């Protein structure tokens, strides 16, 4: 709880505009979450977390943020979703996690009625849940976060949406740049100019793996008829065949993605919405903002850092 309070205090100083709730936050208990919300100068966003008895959302279902691009105002809608999974604290605190697709679709109607143009989900979702939502609700344009350990500036596709997972326990700060150039307006899908190169690298890597394991399969077949060698134990051919199958599946996925991109250079030239993530690694050499450092120093007086 002390750490959670410190994080809220830091987020207050850093100008955070919205925060999603995850399963570790829920483990603190409902009373603790409501205390933290009162401490925060920004909204908690929980689109699919509701009171079990009343059906009312525990916190804000979405937040609207005004941005300026090229002299024009763009209204962003920020939602917060978590995956359905059993959690003891939910029953204790009389809370329910609603199906993400249903909850988001309902909240999006209200957000659009208030002028929302860009739909962004702060994600505590599994990758398969993001894909399901992206397919079911094509208006979703971006997923930020994700309940998995991915860390890459290159997005994955979730339906027509881009999914950026760039945190990995706060080891990096992610800077997401959005540029609006689609003729149909801010609500059009985003593309990442770096994504095509990333998929091409994945395709090349898969091709190299296929060649390597096919060579090892031939060597393993020859070894089956050779005299036993205690210094070189035999590896079953099936082991390498599974690796080949996995690499071929990855190759097919990469080829499918490249095909779906089409003539991306021409598309970008014609004007598309663009999203690019840059990850800045943090280290002990990074200098804290003085106000933030003062908060941390005060925290350490009571809770010293015991790591060497």
Secondary structure (DSSP) of 51-118:
ETTT--BSSBSEEEEEEEETTEEEEEEEEEEE-----HHHHHTTEEEPPHHHHHHHHHHHHHHTT--E
Paired tokens of 285:
């050499």
> Is the distance from CB of 21 to CB of 33 less than 8 angstroms?
yes
By C-alpha distance, which of 170, 164, 134 is closest to 152?
A: 164
Residue intervals of the chain classified under CATH 3.60.21.10 are 2-189+273-302
Which among 109, 82, 67, 69 is positioned nearest to 21, based on CA atoms? Answer: 82
Which tokens go with 166? 């760039």
Full pLDDT tens readout for the chain, 308 residues: 999 999 999 899 989 999 998 888 999 999 999 999 999 999 999 999 999 999 999 999 999 999 887 778 899 999 999 998 878 888 889 999 999 999 999 999 999 999 999 999 999 998 899 999 999 999 999 999 877 666 677 788 888 899 988 666 667 888 889 988 888 889 998 888 777 777 888 889 999 999 999 999 988 888 877 777 777 777 888 888 999 999 999 899 888 877 766 654 455 445 688 898 888 887 777 677 888 888 888 999 999 988 76
Provide Rg for the chain, Cα atoms. 24
- Was domain 2-189+273-302 assigned CATH 1.10.443.10? no
For residue 152, the cross-strand partners are 165
């Amino acid at each position: 709880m002390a750490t959670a309070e410190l994080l809220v205090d830091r987020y207050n100083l850093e100008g955070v505009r919205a925060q999603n709730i995850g399963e570790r936050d829920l483990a603190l208990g409902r009373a603790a979450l409501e205390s933290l919300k009162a401490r925060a100068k920004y909204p908690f966003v929980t689109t699919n977390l509701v009171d079990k008895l009343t059906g009312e959302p525990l916190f804000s279902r979405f937040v609207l943020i005004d941005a300026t691009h090229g002299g024009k105002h763009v209204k962003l809608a920020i939602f917060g979703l978590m995956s359905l999974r059993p959690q003891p604290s939910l029953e204790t605190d009389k809370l329910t996690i609603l199906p993400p697709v249903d909850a988001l679709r309902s909240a999006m109607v209200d957000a659009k009625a208030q002028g929302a143009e860009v739909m962004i989900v702060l994600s505590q979702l599994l990758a398969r849940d993001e894909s399901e939502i992206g397919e079911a609700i094509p208006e979703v344009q971006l997923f930020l976060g994700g309940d998995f350990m991915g860390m890459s500036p290159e997005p994955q596709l979730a339906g027509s949406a881009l999914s950026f997972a760039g945190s990995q326990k706060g080891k990096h700060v992610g800077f997401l740049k959005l540029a609006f150039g689609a003729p149909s307006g801010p609500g059009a899908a985003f593309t990442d100019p770096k994504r095509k190169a990333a998929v091409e690298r994945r395709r090349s890597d898969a091709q190299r793996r296929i060649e390597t394991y096919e060579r090892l399969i031939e060597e393993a077949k020859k070894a089956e008829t050779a005299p036993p060698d205690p210094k070189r134990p035999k590896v079953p051919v099936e082991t390498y065949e599974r690796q080949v199958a996995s690499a071929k599946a990855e190759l097919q996925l990469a080829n499918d993605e490249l095909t779906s991109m089409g003539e991306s250079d021409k598309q970008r030239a014609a004007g598309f919405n663009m999203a690019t993530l840059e990850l800045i690694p943090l280290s002990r050499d990074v200098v804290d903002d003085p106000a933030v450092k003062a908060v941390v120093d005060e925290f350490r007086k009571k809770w010293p850092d015991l790591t060497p």
